[in-house]
A and B are shown apart, each in its own frame.
Chain A
Amino acid sequence: MELAIPTTAKGPSQRTLVLRYLRRNKSLVLGLALLAFLLIFSLGGSLVVDTAKLAYPLAAVPLQPPSAEYPLGTDKDGRDLLAVMIRGIQLTGAIGIIAGTLGIVIGIVLGLLSGYFGGVFDSVVRWMTEVLLTIPPLILLIIIAGTIVDKNKVTVLTMALVVSILSWVGPTRVVRAQVLTMKERTFVNVAKLSGMGNIEIIFKELMPNMLPFLVASFVGQVMGAIGASFGLEVLGLGAVREPTIGMTIRWAQFHSAMFNQWWWWILWPVLALIAIFASLSLINVGLDEIANPRVRRTE
């Protein structure tokens, strides 16, 4: 399998090549740009705005439409929506990144081991992933979050941990499937014949080849985790006091913001959510084009 990242090429300068490549991979560029915007807005914003106070109830005059004083308006409980958005993107992103990282690390370990070595270990891992895949994800998460999580103490971290219960399943399956496919391919056989050990093969041959899949899978899990926590939040199972994007949408919906025509309360979090998902999915498509170069041809 040939990888077409032209970073090692000679000839035109590396920068030109990267730029040329990126021009062709519009999805990746757009996704990264959107992500950069979100990062600047949320991380930069918290330097300017006191989110620790303003993103919580009774901090501002309630129900103000956007104005000079409150650029994005305020909600019914007196949160400043600018502060809410800044903090919300951070918190929502944190849930995704924590769960995604946990998922990908566990997934790599389990997937490699079970795919490469097979045997009893493989059976156990397969059994566990199958069990978790058989229960529709949200059902399992709702049941966990709805029954055993101590609601008094739901924080952003708890949310991240709850959704990461499932975030390792996908990566494990992806890695395992890749290993299964590659194991039969020539380059692994060649490596075996040349006397490489198992560990060496895994790290020197399999891992580099899987890198794009892994990155894509990580991005996918971040999206999955944000999506899952959003699902829990709109059902009222989130961190009640925290202004995540999902909780903000939930409160807006709960207080019938649309019926009452407080459009600003629902518009910003929906836009933020769309921006988050769009940037991640564009990045994912872009990565897919790297991992699977033939896809590029159409654009």
Chain B
Amino acid sequence: MRLGYVLRRFIFLIFVMWTAATVLFTIPRLSRVNPIRERFAALARSTGYAPKDLENIIASYELKFGLDKPLPQQYADYMGSVLRGDLGVSLMSYPKPVAELIGEALPWTIGLLLVTISLTFLIGTAIGALAGWPRSPRWVKGTVTPLMVLAAIPAYTLGLLLVYLLGFRLKLLPMGGAYSPGMVKALTMPFALDVVKHAILPALSLILAYVGFYALGMRGMGVTVQGEDYVNFAEHKGLRQGRIFYWYYVRNAILPQVTSLALALGGIVSAGILVEGLYGFPGIGSTLSAAITANDYFVIYGVGFITIFAVGISMMAVDLLYPLLDPRIRYDRK
């Protein structure tokens, strides 16, 4: 039964990702904006200069990118090449391949988001668990309320305030970018420290904005778990408090946290886009915003597909965990 379900779920996932990809492919094409003309428009407003024979140049580029073909054909061509692992070339940064563009941005985002998400999760869960534990000191329980207020502020707004205070005013941390001018990009300690220093503010904006979310969730679950028979049983058995806290209370309450972690991925990725833009962080979010402004189809698709893939896989993982969490739910057919 299990294996059959996993297989069904996997096929479903592929189907879902394919639909999502199709939706993504179609939407930008509903716009009547011509990205190549926009490219020259951008050129014209940054340079004041507009080529005299613009329309000819546009036409020959459309031919080159296959944008003159009917849309279904373009769809088939493009999906085919994606399956072959070719994401095409960027229209704006022609002749740069999309895969290269993403390859340059992705490590930064993965680095930032992995650190952020894991720290948020660990800190939030720890605070939540302690806050929900009846024997915790009062001030520990009190931390939840300020965290809740923080959670009410969008990460972007937090970032705005943080960069102003710590960057502009106090000059404690860099205001943006990836590393200091003149730094040589290499696997050296000074470089690594410099990168970390530049990542603190963007990471902090996200962590502060989301930590309350996990703390609240964990506290809620923790309180629920306390009422469960096995915890009462453990208490009556006279087990040590620390042991109960960890083995019976945290271990049981943490599972739904994992679920909500995966479900929040999309949200954090979204917030990451805004925060990256705010700090000029060279990640995938900045790449996407720039691509959308420029209607750079193939970059939009490339970034979109990669996020869909990442989110889709994590969602499937969650879905497979779901029946384990609540045995009352059964997916198998009767």
Contacts and interface: CB of A to CB of B under 8 A. Distances in A.
Assess A/B contact in the complex (Cβ within 8 A).
yes
Contacts of A136: 265-267, 269-270, 273, 307, 311
Contacts of A47: none
Q: Is the interface of B mostly helix, strand, loop or mixed?
A: helix
A143 B58 CA distance: 23
Contact of B329 (A180, A231, A288): A180
A282 B146 CA distance: 11
A135 interface: yes
Contact of A277 (B132, B153, B164, B270): B153
A234 B307 CA distance: 22
Contacts of B271: 138
A61 to B, nearest CB: 25
Interface in B46-65: none
Interface stretch (A68-76, A94-102, A291-299): A291-299
A274 B227 contact: no
Contact of A288 (B33, B220, B289): B220
18 contacts: A131-B23, A133-B266, A134-B16, A134-B20, A134-B315, A135-B24, A138-B273, A138-B274, A139-B269, A139-B270, A146-B292, A148-B28, A227-B154, A258-B160, A258-B164, A277-B153, A295-B220, A298-B141
Interface string B105-136: 00000000000000000000000000110100
A134 B308 contact: yes
Given A137-B266, A144-B27, A298-B132, 12 more contacts: A127-B12, A131-B16, A131-B19, A133-B266, A140-B24, A142-B273, A143-B304, A181-B326, A227-B154, A253-B160, A270-B160, A280-B152
B328 to A, nearest CB: 5
Contacts of B17: 134
B98 to A, nearest CB: 16
Contacts of A258: 160, 164, 168
A147 interface: yes
B224 interface: yes
Contacts of A288: 220
A142 B27 contact: no
Interface in B286-314: 288-289, 292-293, 295, 300, 303-304, 307-308, 311-312
Contacts of B232: none
Given A131-B23, A136-B307, A137-B270, A282 B148 contact: yes
A130 interface: yes
Given A135-B23, A147-B33, A285-B148, A294 B227 contact: yes
Nearest to A143: B27
A280 B151 CA distance: 11
A155 interface: no
B121 to A, nearest CB: 18
A118 B161 CA distance: 48
A184 B328 contact: yes
B277 interface: yes
Contacts of A146: 292-293
B198 interface: no
B227 A135 contact: no
Contacts of A266: 160
A144 B330 CA distance: 37
Interface of B: 12, 15-17, 19-20, 23-24, 27-28, 30-31, 33, 131-132, 134, 141, 148-149, 151-154, 156-157, 160-161, 164, 168, 216, 219-220, 223-224, 226-227, 263, 265-267, 269-271, 273-274, 277, 288-289, 292-293, 295, 300, 303-304, 307-308, 311-312, 315, 326, 328-330
A133 B17 CA distance: 10
Contact of A235 (B16, B277, B330): B277
A281 B300 CA distance: 33
Nearest to A279: B152
Contact of B154 (A131, A139, A140, A230): A230
Contacts of A274: 149, 152-153, 157
Given A270-B160, A295-B220, A130 B16 contact: yes
Contact of A278 (B23, B134, B149): B149
Given A135-B20, A135-B308, A130 B289 contact: no
A162 B98 CA distance: 28
Contact of B307 (A139, A181, A273): A139
B152 A281 contact: yes
Contacts of B148: 27, 278, 281-282, 285
